[in-house]
Amino acid sequence: MSTAVAAGTWKLGDREVNRIGYGTMRLTGNGMMGNSDGTPIDRDAAVNLLHSAFEQGVNHIDTAAFYFSPLRSANELINRALSSWYGDVVVVTKVGPARGSSGEWLPMARPDQLRGQVEENLRQLGRDHLDVVNLRRNGPDTASLSEHFGALAELRQAGLVRHLGLSNVRPEHVAEALMIAPVVCVQNSYGLDWRRADESGLVDLCLEQGIAFVPYFAVSGLRREASAGQEYDARVRSVAHAHGATPAQVRLAWTLHRGPHVLAIPGTTNPAHLAENVAAGSLGLTEGELALLDKPHEGTA
C-alpha cells in the first residue's frame, strides 16, 4: 500500500507534515463550505476513515468550525478520532467566516470577534492551543487584512495559536501579513484548469517565502470554464490511462508537481478513494505529460 510519505514533506512552521493531507469538509455532508447537500457519513465510519488516513501516513488535517451540518461537526469528529490515536497529527483550521446554529452564513467576523472563533475551535477540538489557524478572506473584497491578522497575531503571542496562515487571498495580502507575523501556509482555490494563483504569482511567492501553498478544489474543478474543462479532461484521461491511474490521481499529482511547497488536502468519505488520493503522491509524471497538461487550452491568448 502506498503511504503519504511517498509525496515528500514540508514544514508548517516547526511542524513537518507529509504533502498529502486530508480535508474534512465532506464528512459533514457533500455541500461546499459546510452546507450539507448530501447525507453526512456515519459517525463511527468517519472516525474509522480518519484513523485509516492516519495509518496511511496522513498527518495534516484541514477543518473549520463552520464545517457542520445538523448531524455532524468536522471538529467533533476530529476530536473523537484523535482521542483514540497515538500519533502526531497537525490540525489546520480557519476563522473569519461563521455560520449560525441553523446553518445560515453570518457576516465576516470583526477583528475583536476572532478570539471567540479561536476559542470555539479549541473547545470543539479539545485542545489547549491550535496548531495552525488560517484567516480566511470572505464576502466583499477586502483591501487590507492587517486588523484581522494583527488580532490573530496577538492570540499567537498569547499561546492560543501556534502558527498562522491565510486563505482566499492575493499576493498583496501575503506581503501585508508578513509585516505583522510569520505566515506558514496559504490556502487558495487552485487546480489544473483554475490557475489564477499562477497568474497572480501567488504560488511562486509562497515558494520564495518558504510558505506552504495548499490548494482546495484541486480535484473537483468547481469553477472551471466549461470549454477548458472538457479539453483538460481529455488530456487528464490520456495521462491516467498511460499510468493505470484515475483522473483524480493525475490532477493531484499535477498539483504536487507544481512545487515542493505545494500540499494537497483532498476530501472524501470513501475509503477506496482515500487510498487512491494517498497513492497519487507517488505518481510520477514525465516532462512530456506535464507539458501536455500545462499547455493552454484552445482559445486562450
CA distance 192 to 264: 13
CB-based contacts of 223: which residues, under 8 Å, 6+ apart?
Answer: 189, 194, 217
How high is the mean pLDDT of the chain? 90
Q: Are strands 130-136 and 60-62 parallel, antiparallel or unpaired?
A: unpaired
SS in 3 state form for the chain? CCCHHHHCEEEECCEEEECECEECHHHHCCCHHHCCCCCCCCHHHHHHHHHHHHHCCCCEEECCCCCECCCCEHHHHHHHHHHCCCCCCEEEEEECCEECCCCCEECCCCHHHHHHHHHHHHHHHCCCCEEEEEEECCCCCCCCCHHHHHHHHHHHHCCCEEEEEEECCCHHHHHHHHCCCCCCEEEEECECCECHHHHCCHHHHHHHHCCEEEEECCCCCCCCCHHHHHHHHHHHHHHHHHHCCCHHHHHHHHHHHCCCCECECCCCCCHHHHHHHHHHHHCCCCHHHHHHHHCCCCCCC
d(CA 280, CA 283) in angstroms, rounded, equals 5
32: pLDDT strictly greater than 80: no
Residue-wise pLDDT for 110-162, tens only, equals 999 999 999 999 999 999 999 999 999 986 566 789 999 999 999 999 999 99
> Mean of the pLDDT values across residues 24-35?
67
Please state the pTM of the whole predicted model: 0.92
Predicted pLDDT at 181? 98
Catalytic residue list contains 67: yes
Q: Which of 67, 190, 216, 232 is catalytic?
A: 67
Q: By C-alpha distance, which of 293, 283, 295, 238 is closest to 20?
A: 283
Q: Which three cell numbers stand for residue 144?
A: 487590507
Query: Does the structure show a pLDDT above 80 at 259?
Result: yes
pLDDT at position 231 over 90 = no
Q: Which residue has the cell 504560488?
A: 203
The pLDDT value recorded for residue 222 is 46
The set of residues, in sequence order, having a beta carbon less than 8 Å from that of 160 and lying 6+ positions away, is: 115, 118, 119, 122, 129, 130
Q: Residue 1 — very low, low, confident or very high, per pLDDT cuts 50/70/90?
A: low
Q: 224 or 297: whose pLDDT is higher?
A: 297
**Other C-beta atoms within 10 Å of 162: how many?**
17
Fold of 4-224+259-283: TIM Barrel (3.20.20)
Record the cell numbers describing residue 47, joined without a space: 472516525
Which cell numbers hold the place of 27?
A: 464528512
Residue 300 scores a pLDDT above 70: no
Distance, CA of 113 to CA of 107 (rounded, Å): 11
pLDDT score at 224? 47
In this model, does residue 172 exceed pLDDT 80? yes
